[in-house]
């Protein structure tokens, strides 16, 4: 199953691949070169398909748990000053996605969207300290009874050139459902209350909509 954000790109790529195969078969005489070029193009197409895959996830919804918004590796767990929305201290958990990870963004908690904003910006590597402040990004805040307000931020990386965000203010949403997509490598920051019990460790691999990031007592 492929994400709807990839349908157009997959179709265009398929047309290019088929056209390239015909051209290579017609004009490349050397058999090894012909096979090598066809193999390289086929591998490229498979990578495109893998990037836009949208696997089903078994989300066990709980209002007292915050789930990972994305697939990837936990690269930051620290207390920080969140300056855009809360303007106070929060626990930041950041998940880095490589180009081979699933890039669907999912809502970490159920509740109501109270804030959603897009910021144009640079395309620094996703792990750069200033990426969360200077890169293209979106900020979304979801509120529920137990966590209060939880903020997550989609951040473009050096390869990512477009962030898709479906979150709309005053919309009621379900934990683990599709909230957006980041094309070609990126990071998501999650800002949680200080009393949240963090359930992940640095360098741990997580799955969007399934892995528990934190619990609230």
Is 186 marked active-site?
Answer: yes
Distances (CA, A) of 54 to 105, 122, 192: 10, 27, 26
Given a contact cutoff of 8 angstroms between Cβ atoms, the answer to whether 39 and 84 are in contact is no
Which residues, at least 6 apart from 10, have a Cβ–Cβ distance to it below 8 Å?
2, 48, 49, 52
Query: Which residue from 61, 62, 69 is spatially nearest to 189, judged by alpha carbons?
Result: 69
DSSP character at residue 63: T
Catalytic residue among 68, 94, 110, 186: 186
User: Can you state the angle between helices 7-27 and 31-51, rounded to 10 degrees?
Assistant: 180
Q: Which residues are catalytic?
A: 186
């Amino acid at each position: 199953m492929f994400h709807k954000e990839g349908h157009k790109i997959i179709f265009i790529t398929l047309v290019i691949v088929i056209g390239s195969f015909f051209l290579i078969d017609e004009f490349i005489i050397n058999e090894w070169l012909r096979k090598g070029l066809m193999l390289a193009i086929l591998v490229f197409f498979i990578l495109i398909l893998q990037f836009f895959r949208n696997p089903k996830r078994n989300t066990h919804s709980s209002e007292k748990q915050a789930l990972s918004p994305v697939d990837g590796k936990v690269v930051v767990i620290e207390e920080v000053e969140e300056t855009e929305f809360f303007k106070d201290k929060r626990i930041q958990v950041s998940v880095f996605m490589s180009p081979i990870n699933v890039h669907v963004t999912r809502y970490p908690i159920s509740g109501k969207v109270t804030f959603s904003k897009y910021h144009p910006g640079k395309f620094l590597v996703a792990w750069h300290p200033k990426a969360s402040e200077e890169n293209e990004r979106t900020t979304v805040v979801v509120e529920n009874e137990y966590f209060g307000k939880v903020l997550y931020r989609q951040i473009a990386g050096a390869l990512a050139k477009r962030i898709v965000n479906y979150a709309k203010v005053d919309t009621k949403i379900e934990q683990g459902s599709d909230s957006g997509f980041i094309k070609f490598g990126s990071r998501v920051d999650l800002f949680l209350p200080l009393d949240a019990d963090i359930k992940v460790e640095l360098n741990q691999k997580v799955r969007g909509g399934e892995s528990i990031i934190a619990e609230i007592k």
